[in-house]
Homo-oligomer: A and B are copies of this chain.
């Protein structure tokens, strides 16, 4: 077979390693708990009635004891149960890639790395916490789990995890995405879950919201209230949350812990670590292990949370105790919030439409360990298209916020003429978000 001449202007520089994978044995054996390393203690959640620090029994109605222990846990390292690591192995360790084609398109001296969490069966990072939550509930004897979901990334992940442990799963999905992105609802059904568009007629609170506004697009805050009401009113049912809470951030740290091993394989250290932030869990996942390096080892790594401008709790909210849901059923949490009654506009990044920010992420932001930036929707999809057309994978609208910030950091590096190592979390793929890309390509997308 005659050899064809190499075409230098095509493809990547020859023979560069761009893919960094780990064997199954390198799935982390422990989660990292940032609460153990904060220079100032994390303000506790408060009982909505007494305004006193919430006790284990205050949360026992909606969470099993073992999950509440994780939520309140102050130990630095938490063992990952073997059963959970076994299931993680279906998609973990996830690959770390260097985006050489994107670098080339941007003509930047920066090196851009991305952790690809879309490799999971549900297409995002969410199963990292869905699986342990289902596991701990199974241990506690839970027969049924209720939850909410925005874009459906979380709902589908919990449906998957519940199926694996034989737990019934009911999901309240924010109505606007239930209608606009039917595929994720069908995915939840495929994994055996029951899905209601929220606000629904299925709960008292849902009916109340519909009475006030029959056309309500819904919000995560409303859906959370419905899921909690469902949990409280249904026997053998507990509630599960896909973001915000301490134990969820804890579970997601497998992302950053794997990144550290993979960046070592790449022989580089990130100057800036980026993640999109709605409730804060995927950001926490990639960021917390690097925040520890700042606190404990004085590393100067910049860590950036990227929000949608239309729902920017860190950059436009205030830090105070607020409810996690619209119906005021959750404990009060100290967090950056836009107010628990705030209904975000119906942007395509449905997974980021939450009024508050995870207390641990909020605390890190208050302590100056983390930066935040917000972008309008059009800038997000512009970045998403450029990523898809250079690196191939089509990013989820949520994840595209991290892509946007990574691209802007790379452009800045070009303008400043300095090499910079950028690491971001590609938290999920957008293959079930194609209607959003359709709207963007058709010029029908606004900010």
Task: Enumerate chain A interface residues (CB-CB to B < 8 A).
Answer: 1-7, 10-12, 14-25, 66, 69-70, 73, 75, 77-79, 81-84, 86-87, 89-91, 97, 101, 119-123, 135-136, 138-139, 160, 163-165, 182-183, 186-187, 189-192, 385, 388-394, 431-432, 434-435, 437-438, 441
Known: A21-B21, A121-B392. 12 other contacts (CB 8 A): A1-B70, A2-B69, A12-B86, A15-B86, A17-B25, A91-B392, A164-B390, A187-B394, A187-B431, A191-B389, A431-B431, A431-B432
Query: Of all chain B residues, which has the CB nearest A431?
Result: B431
Give chain B residues whose Cβ lies under 8 Å from the Cβ of A25.
17
A75 to B1, CA, bound (A): 7
Please give the count of copies of this chain that the complex contains: 2
Q: Are A78 and B1 in contact (CB under 8 A)?
A: yes
Q: Are B186 and A437 in contact (CB under 8 A)?
A: yes
Known: A4-B136, A16-B86, A73-B1. A163 touches B389 (CB 8 A): yes
**Closest 4 interchain pairs by CB?**
A121-B392, A11-B83, A186-B434, A183-B434
Q: Are A23 and B24 in contact (CB under 8 A)?
A: no
CB distance from A186 to the nearest CB of B (A): 4
Give chain B residues whose Cβ lies under 8 Å from the Cβ of A119.
119
CB distance from A171 to the nearest CB of B (A): 15
Q: Are B83 and A6 in contact (CB under 8 A)?
A: yes
Give chain B residues whose Cβ lies under 8 Å from the Cβ of A393.
90, 121
CB distance from A423 to the nearest CB of B (A): 18
The residue that A86 contacts in the complex, of B1, B11, B24, B120, with Cβ under 8 A, is: B11
A77 to B1, CA, bound (A): 8
A3 to B432, CA, bound (A): 38
Known: A86-B18, A97-B90, A164-B101. A7 touches B389 (CB 8 A): no
Known: A2-B69, A24-B17, A123-B431. A437 touches B10 (CB 8 A): no
Pairs across A and B, CB under 8 Å, 9 listed? A1-B77, A11-B87, A18-B24, A18-B90, A19-B89, A120-B392, A186-B438, A190-B437, A190-B441
Give chain B residues whose Cβ lies under 8 Å from the Cβ of A2.
69
CB distance from A132 to the nearest CB of B (A): 10
CB distance from A310 to the nearest CB of B (A): 23
Give chain B residues whose Cβ lies under 8 Å from the Cβ of A388.
121, 190-191
The residue that A392 contacts in the complex, of B4, B90, B135, B437, with Cβ under 8 A, is: B90
CB distance from A361 to the nearest CB of B (A): 22
Q: Are B183 and A10 in contact (CB under 8 A)?
A: no
Q: Are A394 and B190 in contact (CB under 8 A)?
A: yes
Query: Of all chain B residues, which has the CB nearest A16?
Result: B86
CB distance from A433 to the nearest CB of B (A): 9
The residue that A82 contacts in the complex, of B15, B23, B435, with Cβ under 8 A, is: B15
A18 to B431, CA, bound (A): 26
Give chain B residues whose Cβ lies under 8 Å from the Cβ of A23.
19, 21
A190 to B5, CA, bound (A): 30
Give chain B residues whose Cβ lies under 8 Å from the Cβ of A120.
392
Q: Are A138 and B182 in contact (CB under 8 A)?
A: no
CB distance from A350 to the nearest CB of B (A): 17
Give chain B residues whose Cβ lies under 8 Å from the Cβ of A70.
1
Q: Are B24 and A135 in contact (CB under 8 A)?
A: no
A70 to B19, CA, bound (A): 28
Query: Of all chain B residues, which has the CB nearest A185?
Result: B434
